[in-house]
Structure 1
């Protein structure tokens, strides 16, 4: 890609310039402040700066402040012609009060839509504005600062990002860089796009779009949606314009129709005016006649109605009184039923109380003392038994020579016979007796006789106490006590229920009250009584209202006409006067049938005149709106936007398909990534070494760029030079070598261009000579635009010299 020409009417201090560039070397020569840098800025802005400046954005605000003419200029422009092979593209932009963009393609197509033009430029420029700004348009001091940052190891990521961005757009890169390139391409395509859901992340559509960090898929989606919205707006604007045109046609016809009608009615306006004077009299007389006719007709009817309503009211009052009495009897019947139910419940509860009292009398009254005494005796017996069970004695009666009865006593048990060979056990005491001997065995210090005596005494006490209480055991005593307690609680509960039912009355009072409510007779239900009473009350109210209304009407008529006869006489007078006025009207020109009266005619004529003036004014306003709508029509028609939308939709589909394919490629790439091993920056480092050696006349013959983008320099003696020891001239050589190596790396075999701003001014004569040779060598296949204020350097370079 080559720049053929640049021109502008005004850009900062530049006025009416037209610069033609050639292939190869172009030298822009001029003193300081002659506009060399401004020319380069104009070329860059025309290529990359959007026409619409947003003053809220810092970069746009700075651009406006730097390049807008001072003090009163409000517009700047730039036009550039670029060549891709034998194809020419002409791009023109304006900034300021007239924002515009126009791209003319090789086939002569003129494109003014910014998005469409930017898509084409993006395709032909290959790289983004950042790459051009950092490499192609970069000033020498910026390159030198970048080298210092790399060598200082403090901000290497800033420059490495530039190299990474440019080198990822090339072929023949290392596996790691290819991986990064694929990932970067995925980011470029899919940033803030949810590929799984096929929509923006967090579903932020065109109504709530992301402002920054857009991937190409999301950007193309937003572009498509913006065109769709513009298409809808254009369709609405065109529809509004068509409606204005239709309204103008309608208003024009209305004006003609109203004028024709106005002229026709004005011919008979005088006769109608005469009618207008008489019509109110006729209207008043007809109204009075109608009123009097109605009064004469209804007067006797009202008198008869009042008499009829009086009779009805006399029959309604006794019926309402009877219903009130029936309603009172119904309330007494309900009270009687309530008392009857309450007495029945009380009688039932009293019976339960009597039954409970009988059960209480039948239940033995066991006291707490009785229970305590029984438990104490039982405890003593248990203690004695426990003492006897302190040990275990096991014995067996094996043999006796002289047969006789042998008696055995164990512990607290009674004597029993034991036979030869039987085994026995005891806890603390054994006694064996016969006619011939007596044997007693006991454990420890056990006083068997004392324990046995106490055991027998306590058993007798327990048995005697249970007999006195007529109980079998202690458990029965406890059960009797709990049963008695429960029965007493039941009795108290039943008494409370009776008291609750009686309230503050006595049983006999309820009986007496019930007796008074006997012989009430049969009563209807309350709904039926209330329904009949409501019906009679409504009828009574209606009669009273109607009677009062009729009496009021008669009072008013009597006050106005005195009597029916006088009202009739007045009616005859009104009708005669009405007839005389109508005879006079018959002599005048008739009112057209479409009008009900002369007043209607005058109102209509006035309305037509007002309408005629109003429609004329509306027509005039519509004419103004017509011009406004015509001006506000979008530059692109709905059909053009529709075509653009189809194209944008196609681009979106392509971007989306590319992203989907790229995801698949990345998955396949990951599987084979470990098998690939290359040195990422070897081609760049080799070319950098070649240029560096040439520029320094062999003083530095080795330049390395590792995967971290760290640059190291080695002199011809093999010594790696510290960054602090590099001279200003060496810095310039390193910067120029790095720049040309990067350009060679990113352009490859295609033609490109570079803009250099006096980058060899600080070199010694020998290195300056080698730098000129390198620039000329590079210009053999590419375009170089070199700016300088030094005529000697311009003469050394030669080529197409452009004087500013």
Structure 2
């Protein structure tokens, strides 16, 4: 692939430009600001920048700012003629208000849809836009920036990694990607939508839910086999059903023929039988009426007697029911009397408890919470005063004395002590020596006199209060106060119970009601335990015996009233019976003149019913024949074009084809597995050959001072010096770094263009190299240009002369 020509009416600073390029080395020479870098940008934009430029993305904004006219024009354009795989193509782009893109192959079939143009360009520039931007086009910037762009751009490194793997792994001249794609295509062609593990369609989708699109040959042959299997089974079923329908139709037609003969024979007798059918029911009706009248004549007097007896029984039963209801009422009174007695007993017990509690309360001293609180406060004051006095303890001893000595300590009384005695005094000490000394000692932190007075006053008040309350001490007062409180609470509860028991009634009223109940009950022998038995018997009398009697009486009355309404009295029944017997004789005479009924029928009605049934059966058979005829032609239409035997042959052939496709699919799976194993082995050191190529270029460009130490899968690079020290790139000098970058670029280009020649655009990229390294770089570039196209821009005539090649001045 190479660039033949570039033209542009306007692109940033370029105007009416037209440059042609040859195979090998092309050196574009021109002073600074002559548009060399713009030329590189224009070529790259024509290849990769969409004609429609937005206004929001940063790259679009930068493109507008850098290349579109700011005044005096509203568009820029670029036109490239390129050669790829010995075919020529023209790419024409215009950016601005009237943007467009055109791609014209040699055959003249011009393409103008942007998405179609982009697809064709992707086929030609197959390494990806980022690879071309960071590797093929070197802008007028330091090589350090360029190599960092290559390494830091994930898309570029991924694309380059794939390119290197294709170059390293060759299979009989076929690149791994092509072979991988071929295997994938073949696998897809065979196994698309097929579950290899379970040997069935994916998601178990059989012929009733089969995949329509994107299927492989295996699943297609499977579907064909299964569909043929289904068809032959359907054909077998339909052929069988057709035979059954044909047989059933013939049976129905024969049955209809036999039935029609029977109906015709019976139809000859039908007229007389119909007349017989009209007379016989009347005759039977007369016979029935006579029989009924005899029965009524016999039952009438009997039912009248029965009615009289049952009405008498009902009267007696009602009297028994009244007696039992009165007994229940008496039992209720007895129960009420017992309950009154229990209530009076509870009331008496409650009144007794109230009286006793009141007497107990009167015996207890009346102590309230305020008085108890007063006692507690006085006891607290006494305790605090004593504690205060006792806290100021004085310890003394009488070592020697010739006179009598008396002491008063704290709150104690006066006492006489002898020499050698020890004593303690709480807050106060008074010493008296007979006729010679009286000494008082008080604790400085305690006002003994005040505390003593306070203690005595509190003691007197407490004693006085205890005596007034009639208790011994504070604890006794507490016990008595609690006892008084508890007794009052009990009294309150008993009084509340009494109110509930009386329930608004007067005690005398309860006694009066009890006396009244005793008088009402009298000397009855009943008791409350009899109630359930009486209620059970009463319920039976009411719900069963009396109800049955009433129903029977009602029925008897209705029947007698019915007879009276129809026959007036029993004598008229006999007259009615004579009339009916005369009518019966006349009907029997008419029957004797008609054709006799066939022996198998008892009545004309049976004959007519039988004949009607036969005609219905005939109609039903005719309906069945009609339906079966429809089924016959339907099943005939359903018969498949191919017979079961023919479909069986096709099914066996489909089975063979299915087995053949499975065998081929298993073979391609084995090939895929072997290929993956080869790829895994290659991936263990994918960049080994790149490292060798990189080292060769690096030694040439650094006068054998450096070689490549490490290149990992992320393109992190370390170089080795003569001292065998691994150095990261950021520690190298600018000139060495530029040499490393150029070596790295050409090592990658070597892999990029391993299969077919390509081009590279270098925009004045040797400025950081010293003369010796520049000369080495020129040699490397010239060597590369022997098999590929190089477009090199420079502002230095000496550099252009050093390169040689096709010099294009701008």
Normalising by the residue count of structure 1, what TM-score does the alignment of the two structures yield?
0.54
CA distance in 2, matches of 1:245, 1:161: 72
Q: Aligned match of 1:620 in 629, 646, 671? A: 629
1:715–1:721 Cα contact (<8 Å) kept: no
Q: Does 1:355 align with 2:356?
A: yes
Separation in 2, partners of 1:163, 1:299: 126
CA contact (8 A) 1:306 1:547 kept: no
Question: 1:521: which partner in 2?
Answer: 525
Aligned to 1:539: 545
Spell out the pairing of 1:531-610 with structure 2 (5 A cutoff).
531-537=536-542, 538-562=544-568, 563-585=572-594, 587=596, 597-610=606-619
Q: Does 1:692 align with 2:756?
A: yes
**Mapping of residues 582-731 of structure 1, within 5 Å:** 582-585=591-594, 587=596, 597-630=606-639, 676-679=684-687, 689-693=753-757, 718=784
**Deviation (angstroms), 1:311:** 1.9
Change beyond 3 A, Cα 1:292–1:238: farther
Deviation at 1:301, TM superposition (A): 2.6
Q: Shift in Å at residue 600 of structure 1? A: 0.9
Report the Cα distance in structure 2 between the residues aligned to 1:160 and 1:584, rounded to whole angstroms.
123
Task: Give the Å deviation of 1:691.
Answer: 4.1
Instruction: Tell me the residue number matched to 1:152.
Output: 129
Matched residues in 2 for 1:224 and 1:302: separation? 93
User: What do the CA deviations read for 1:376-395 (whole angstroms, capped 9, x no partner)?
Assistant: 53354345335425x53442
User: How far does the alpha carbon of each residue in 1:684-731 deviate from its partner, in whole angstroms, 9 at most, with x for none?
Assistant: 9989735413xx7xx7899xxxxxxxxxxx9866489999999xxxxx
Instruction: State the Cα distance separating 1:425 from its structure 2 match.
Output: 4.4
- Cα offset, 1:583, TM superposition: 2.5
Which residue of structure 2 lines up, in the alignment, with residue 791 of structure 1?
none
Is the contact made by 1:231 and 1:641 (CA closer than 8 Å) also made in structure 2?
no
Q: 2-side partners of 1:554 and 1:498: how far apart? A: 68
What is the CA–CA distance in structure 1 between the aligned matches of 2:406 and 2:223, rounded to whole Å? 120
**Contact persistence 1:393–1:428 (CA under 8 A):** yes
Distance in structure 2 (CA, Å) of the matches to 1:679 and 1:688: 14
What secondary structure sits across from 2:365 in the alignment? coil
Unaligned runs of 5+ in 2: 1-115, 132-154, 691-747, 763-779, 793-810
SS in 2 for 1:431: strand
Give the deviation of 1:620 after TM superposition: 1.6
Q: How does 1:243-392 map to 2 (within 5 A)?
A: 243=241, 245-315=243-313, 316-389=317-390, 392=392
Task: Note closer, same or farther for the CA distance 1:443–1:301 as it changes in structure 2 (3 Å cut).
Answer: same
User: Which residue pairs with 1:428 in the alignment?
Assistant: 427
Residue aligned with 1:440, SS = strand
SS in 1 for 2:327: helix
1:487 aligns with 2:551: no
Report the counterpart of residue 399 of structure 1 in structure 2.
399
Maintained 8 Å contact 2:277/2:605:
no
CA shift, 1:676, in A, is 2.8
1:503 aligns with 2:512: no
Question: Deviations along 1:474-520, whole A, 9 cap, x unmatched?
Answer: 23323323332332222122212221222232122122222222234
By how many angstroms is 1:211 displaced? 8.8
Cα gap change, 1:373/1:534 in structure 2, threshold over 3 Å: closer, same or farther?
closer
Q: How far apart are the structure 2 equivalents of 1:208 and 1:480?
A: 100
Measure the CA separation in 2 of the matches of 1:411 and 1:153: 110
Q: Post-superposition shift, 1:541? A: 2.3
> What secondary structure, in the 3-state scheme, does the structure 2 residue paired with 1:268 have?
helix
- Secondary structure (helix, strand or coil) at the match of 1:517 reads helix
CA positional deviation for 1:429: 1.9
After superposition, the Cα gap between the structure-2 partners of 1:246 and 1:309, relative to the gap in structure 1 and judged at 3 Å, is farther
Counterpart-to-counterpart distance in 1, 2:332 and 2:207: 74
Give 2:64's aligned residue.
Answer: none
- Contact 1:366 1:480 (8 Å CA) reproduced: yes
- Distance apart, 1:242 and its partner CA: 4.0
Asked whether the equivalents of residues 279 and 597 of structure 1 are also in contact (C-alpha less than 8 Å), the reply is: no
Contact kept, 8 Å, 2:259 with 2:618, in 1: the verdict is no
Counterpart of 1:395 in 2: which secondary structure?
Answer: strand
Relative distance call for 1:370 and 1:677 in structure 2 (3 A) is same
For residues 32-47 of structure 1, what are the structure 2 equivalents within 5 Å?
Answer: none
Shift of residue 522, structure 1, vs aligned partner: 1.1
In the TM superposition, 1:402-413 aligns within 5 A as 402=402, 407-413=406-412
> How far has the Cα of 1:256 moved from its partner?
0.8
CA shift in 2, pair 1:165/1:678, >3 Å: closer
Output the CA distance in 2 between the equivalents of 1:651 and 1:344: 110
Q: Are residues 722 and 257 of structure 1, via their aligned partners in 2, closer, same or farther at CA, if it must alter by over 3 Å?
A: same
Aligned to 2:720: none
SS of match in other structure, 2:551: helix
- Equivalent residue of 2:441, what SS? strand
In structure 2, the CA distance between the partners of 1:194 and 1:446, relative to structure 1 (3 Å rule), is farther
Question: Which secondary structure state, in structure 1, belongs to the residue aligned with residue 610 of structure 2?
Answer: helix
Partner SS state of residue 467, structure 1: helix
Matching of residues 788-803 of structure 1 within 5 Å: none
Aligned residues: 556
Q: 2:222, 2:623 → 1: CA distance?
A: 45
Task: Name which of structure 1's ranges 323-332 and 244-253 shifts more when overlaid on structure 2.
Answer: 244-253
Cα gap change, 1:503/1:615 in structure 2, threshold over 3 Å: closer, same or farther?
same
Separation in 1, partners of 2:191, 2:647: 29
Partner Cα distance (1:207, 1:169) in 2: 43
Is the CA contact (8 Å cut-off) linking 2:429 and 2:442 kept in structure 1? yes
Q: Distance in 2 between matches of 1:542 and 1:382?
A: 96
- Residue 462 (structure 2) aligns with: 462
What is the CA-CA distance between 1:347 and the residue it aligns to? 2.2
Distance 1:631 1:585 in 2: 63
Deviation at 1:209, TM superposition (A): 9.0
Could you tell me how far apart the structure 2 residues matched to 1:189 and 1:417 are?
Answer: 129
1-structure distance, mates of 2:665, 2:494: 89
CA distance in 2, matches of 1:485, 1:589: 115
1:576–1:547 distance in 2 versus 1, CA, 3 Å: farther
Question: Matched residues in 2 for 1:213 and 1:441: separation?
Answer: 122
Residue 752 of structure 1 is matched in structure 2 by none
Give 1:286 deviation, angstroms: 0.9
Tell me the alpha carbon deviations over residues 549-600 of structure 1, each in whole angstroms, 9 at most, x when there is no partner.
2333333344444533134324423543453344234546656689962321
Counting only pairs closer than 5 Å after superposition, residues 132-151 of structure 1 correspond to structure 2 as: 142-148=119-125, 150-151=127-128
CA distance 1:300–1:498, shift in 2 (3 Å)? farther
> Structure 2 vs 1, CA of residues 300 and 266 (structure 1 numbering), >3 Å: closer, same or farther?
same
User: 2 CA distance for matches of 1:433 and 1:207?
Assistant: 133
Superposed CA RMSD: 6.2
TM-score by length of 2: 0.54
Q: 1:690 to 1:163 in 2, by over 3 A?
A: closer
**Residue 753 of structure 1 corresponds to which residue in structure 2?**
none
Classify 1:261/1:368 alpha carbon distance in 2 versus 1 (closer, same or farther; 3 Å): closer
Report the CA distance between 1:279 and its aligned residue. 0.9
